[in-house]
Amino acid sequence: MKVTESTSHYDNLEQMDLLDLLHNINTEDKKVPLAVEKVIPEISALVEKIVPRMEKGGRLIYIGAGTSGRLGVLDASECPPTYGVPFDVVLGLIAGGDKAIRKAVENAEDNPDQAWKDILEYGFNTEDTVIGIAASGTTPYVIGGVKSARSSGLLTGSITCNPASPLSMEVDHPIEAVVGPEFITGSTRMKAGTAQKLILNMISTSVMIKLGKVKGNKMVDMQLSNAKLVDRGTKMIREATGLDEETAKGLLISEGSVRKATEYFYKNQK
């Protein structure tokens, strides 16, 4: 039996006291970062290959179904506002299309040819990286997608929560975070989903740092899409330049980013 389908360590959940339920869920959740820690070498090996490819114009593409697909879409959608990259530099594709983000699309994950078709809608770049996300490691949509990507010369990786899964066998860089049985048997939106989210955070964050999208520890290329982010950017500029708040904010608005504003300031100090 696959680990992700193994029977929960807990029984008669409906009879548990509420506090016991919450404490037991938390007990299981604590196992997740330890499982992720074990696969840091595999994450590092994948990121080391992704960065130079993206420096040459390659994209980072996540493919998944259900919870796994939604987590990929989430991570990808947060890269433009956080790091100022175009929306298609990091892509999240989910079986069934965008409508599947909110409502499950029946049988969408069973088509092994669809993921590659979805990728090709965004064009083809030999420097792209495709990462398949599937807790079980058996999803046809994901396996078919990475197989086609790999045979086309793209770099491939995977994030799964079962050891030696079919998906892992089809990629260059498999990452297997084995978190054990779920609190509710088979409910991989829980520990497996948390592990996948942590790994996606690690991949995209480390890639963007290595691509120069962070200076010091600041998001210097973030989009100024709301008042909170304008205030945050103003504070960054004040800390970097010593300008007063009004001048710093005006410079930020006129230049459009923290990076450009600070570069403008120091260029005109000479």
Tell me what percent of the chain is helix, strand and coil, each rounded to the nearest 5. Answer: 55, 10, 35
Residue positions counted in the chain = 270
CA 233, CA 43: separation in Å to the nearest integer? 31
CA 214, CA 220: separation in Å to the nearest integer? 6
Q: Give residue 103's Cα distance to chain centre.
A: 20
Catalytic-role residue among 28, 42, 109, 182:
109
C-beta of residue 235 within 8 angstroms of C-beta of residue 243:
no
CA 198, CA 34: separation in Å to the nearest integer? 11
C-beta of residue 66 within 8 angstroms of C-beta of residue 109:
yes
CA 168, CA 173: separation in Å to the nearest integer? 8
User: Can 106 be counted among the known catalytic residues?
Assistant: no
**Positions marked catalytic:** 78, 109
